[in-house]
């Protein structure tokens, strides 16, 4: 992809991971909520993601968007997720239409389906011998208000695909908290996404051809309750990491 790519939420953990992993692969435009501590080497913008006057200049001339910006807190209150996540996502899509953007890669979340973990399947669903899988065809079951906002973002993308023919890939991101999985935590191992695989799946989503997709963003862990088949089939995602191959902070070679 030769045309510029806009990354919103560039200052967050996921945004930094994607940019650091792919900074030499694309012509980037970065959007931050506030002035970054270190000025990036590529064009960047600051502002509120729900403000069209802030988003529109960042969108000008780009071909694709990775949309991460929003309030990432699991306990975020309704007024924040409504403004930052739902209104913000709507604004990003409106700006995408205004500037004829072809593709939006949307950072959804495991929290869009978090309530699947509240029934009798846990903790067995976190274990390698359990066959239960979510594959993206299930209806959302948010476990908190943040999850509601992420499910709403997926629906907003559905509308803008159907109405304006924007290609949309929703990635339900698992757990990108550190460079190695939490060895003593079953759920953490099951939904771990390594930094390398995080950059890779977003790279795949920028390069692949699709209409509207929901895929899961985790590494290829032995423990998993998210299916990776759709990501592999549609995006050509080839995860290289597995939480079972780590011992503490070290990868077992």
Q: Give catalytic residue positions.
A: 146
CA-wise closest residue to 178 among 168, 186, 189, 166? 189
**3-class SS of residue 30:** strand
Here the tokens at position 227 are 């299916």
CA distances from 75 to 54, 152, 228 (A): 26, 17, 27
CA end-to-end span of the chain = 34
Q: Where are the beta strands (DSSP E) in the chain?
A: 5-8, 28-32, 44-46, 64-67, 103-109, 167-173, 212-217, 246-247, 250-251
Q: Please tell me whether the peptide bond between 123 and the residue prior to it is cis, using omega within 30 degrees of 0.
A: yes
Please give the Cα distance from 17 to 15 (Å, whole number).
Answer: 5
DSSP annotation string for 111-151: GGGGGGGGSTTTTGGGSTT----B-S-SPP--SSHHHHHHH
């Amino acid at each position: 992809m030769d045309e510029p790519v806009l990354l919103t939420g560039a200052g967050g953990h996921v945004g930094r991971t994607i940019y650091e992993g792919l900074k030499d692969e694309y012509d980037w435009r970065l959007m931050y909520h506030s002035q970054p501590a270190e000025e990036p080497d590529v064009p960047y913008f600051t502002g509120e993601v729900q403000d069209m006057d802030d988003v529109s200049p960042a969108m000008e001339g780009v071909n694709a968007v990775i949309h991460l910006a929003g309030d990432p807190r699991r306990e975020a209150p309704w007024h924040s997720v409504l403004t930052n996540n739902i209104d913000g996502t709507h604004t990003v899509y409106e700006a995408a239409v205004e500037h004829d953007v072809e593709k939006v890669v949307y950072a959804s979340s495991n929290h869009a389906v978090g309530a699947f973990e509240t029934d009798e399947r846990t903790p067995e669903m976190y274990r390698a011998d359990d066959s239960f899988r979510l594959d993206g065809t299930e209806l959302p079951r948010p476990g908190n208000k943040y999850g509601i906002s992420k499910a709403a973002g997926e629906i907003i993308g559905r509308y803008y695909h159907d109405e304006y023919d924007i290609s949309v890939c929703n990635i339900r991101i698992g757990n990108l908290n550190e460079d190695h999985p939490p060895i003593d935590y079953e759920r953490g191992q099951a939904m771990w996404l390594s930094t390398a695989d995080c950059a890779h799946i977003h790279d795949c989503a920028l390069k692949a051809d699709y209409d509207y997709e929901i895929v899961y963003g985790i590494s290829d862990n032995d423990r998993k309750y998210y299916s990776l088949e759709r990501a592999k089939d549609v995006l050509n995602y080839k995860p290289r990491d597995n939480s079972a191959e780590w011992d503490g902070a070290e990868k077992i070679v």
